[in-house]
Amino acid sequence: MHLLSEEMRRDPYPLYTQMRDGSPVLNFPGTDIWMLFDYESVKRAVTDSEAFSSSVTPPTGKAPDWMIFSDPPRHSNLRTIVLRAFTPRSISALEPRVRELSRQILSRHLERGELDLVGDYSDLLPTLVIAEMLGIPSEDLATFQRWAGIIMKLSYALTGGEEARRGIAEHAAAKEEMRLYLMDLLAARRRAPRDDLLTRLGEAEVDGQRLSLEDILGFFQILLLAGTETTTSTISNAMLCFMDYPEQLARLRREPQLLPSAIEEVIRFRSPTQFVFRESRREVELYGQRIPPGKMVLPMIGAANRDPGHFSEPDRFDIARSPNPHIAFGHGIHFCLGAALARLEARVALSDLLEHFADFHRPSDEPWKPREGLLVHGPARLPLRFTVHRPT
C-alpha cells in the first residue's frame, strides 16, 4: 500500500493535504477500507460509538481482545479499573522517579558525545517506567521490550499477505509466553501483594467477578504498547522538530516555560499515532460518500491535526501555538489513558536533554527508518552527536 511505504510514513503530510482537499473520505482502491482525513470526520469517528465501533475485524480476522477494541459497557467497566493508576495525583507522584531514571540513562552517554536517541534513551525511559508501574522485575526488561516490538507488528494485519501472517504467528507465540509469565507473577502477588498495577489487576472485579487471566493479559499487552510507544515517538519527534526548526529551539531555550506548549505542538505536528481503527456499525454518510455497515474505517489522526479548518498555518511548527485542539490522544471515552504519563515523561526527558546538550545534530543525512508499527510515526533509530553543557 503506497500510503504505508517508508517514504510516505516519514512524511505523509503533503498527501494528507491532497486527500483533505480532494477526497476527505476515501474508499481505498481495491479494498473494503475507508480512510477519513479531515478533522471533523476523524473526531466523529473516534467519539461516535453508535456509528463507529471500536470492536473491529481486520482483513486477517478478529482484533485482539483488548480494552481499546471494545465498546461500552465492557469498555467502560475495564477502563475504570486501570483509570485508578493513571489519576493526575498518581502520575504527578511519579515525577521524581522518572527524572531519576532519565538522568541515570543519560549519564551513560554524555562522555561519548553521541548516542542513538531511540535505542539508548527514548525507548528505554518509558519502558522502565511502565515496567516499574506494573511491577516487572528489572532483569526481565529485554523480554518486555521484545514483546512490545512483536505487539507493534500486529498493525500489519491491516495489509494482509505474508507480512500479516508472520506478524500474527509471532504474536500468538509471544502471547503464550506472556500468559505463562503472568500466571507466575500473579500467583506471587496473591501470596505477597505489592503496591503495583499487577497486584491491583489481580484483585480487581467487574460486576462482582474477578478479572480472568485473559482480561489481565489484554491489559498487560495494551499497557506494554501504549505505555511505551507514544512517549518514545514523542521524545524522538521533538528532537527531529528542534533540528528542523532551530529558531523554535532557540526560543524554547530562551523561554523554557514554553516546554509544555512545545510538547503539545510536537504531538500535533508529528502525531505519534497516525491513525486508529474503527468499524462502521451502520451506513454512515460523510461528504456525500456512503460508508456501508461492517467496513474497516481508519480515522487519520495525523491528517486531522494538520487540518487548516482547525489550525492556523497547520504546517508551521510553533511551540507557542494557542489554541491547540489536537486529537493526537483521541477524544471522548477512548481518550488515551496514558496521555498524562506521556506528557510527564516527555517534559522530563526534553528538559534533561536540552539541559545537557549545548547543541546536537544528526551525523548523517540518510533518511530515518520508521518504527515497525504501521500506525506509529517516529524513527526506529536516531543517531545524534552533541556537545555537552559544561558548568562555568
Q: Let me know if residue 298 belongs to a domain.
A: no
For the stretch 216-231, what's the b/e string if a residue is b when 16 or more beta carbons lie within 10 angstroms of its beta carbon? Answer: bbbbbbbbbbbbbbbb
DSSP type of residue 47: H
β-bridge pairing 114-116 and 278-280:
unpaired
β-bridge pairing 289-291 and 284-286:
antiparallel
Q: Let me know if residue 192 belongs to a domain.
A: yes
Query: Residue 392: its pLDDT value, please?
Result: 54
Q: Let me know if residue 72 belongs to a domain.
A: yes
Residues β-bridged to residue 116: 383
Structural domain boundaries, residue 103: 48-270+332-385
Taking phi over 0 as left and psi of -120 to 50 as alpha, with beta for the rest, 299 belongs to beta
- CATH number of the domain residue 61 falls in: 1.10.630.10
Q: Cell 505487539 belongs to which residue?
A: 151
- How many separate domains does the chain show? 1
Q: Let me know if residue 154 belongs to a domain.
A: yes
Q: Give the Cβ contact number of residue 175 at 10 Å.
A: 18
CA Rg value for the chain:
21
For every one of its 392 residues, what pLDDT tens digit does the chain have, with 9 covering 90 and above?
466 788 999 999 999 999 999 999 999 887 889 999 999 999 999 999 899 998 887 765 666 667 666 777 776 777 777 777 677 888 899 999 999 999 999 999 999 999 999 999 999 999 999 999 999 988 898 898 899 888 888 777 666 677 778 888 888 899 999 999 999 999 999 999 998 889 988 887 767 777 888 888 988 888 888 778 899 999 999 999 999 999 999 999 999 999 999 999 999 999 999 999 999 999 999 999 999 999 999 999 999 999 999 999 999 999 999 999 999 998 766 677 788 899 999 999 999 999 999 999 999 999 999 998 888 999 999 999 999 987 65
Query: Residue 39: its pLDDT value, please?
Result: 97
Alpha helices in 12-111 (DSSP H): 13-22, 39-47, 74-83, 88-93, 95-107
Q: Give the Cβ contact number of residue 288 at 10 Å.
A: 6
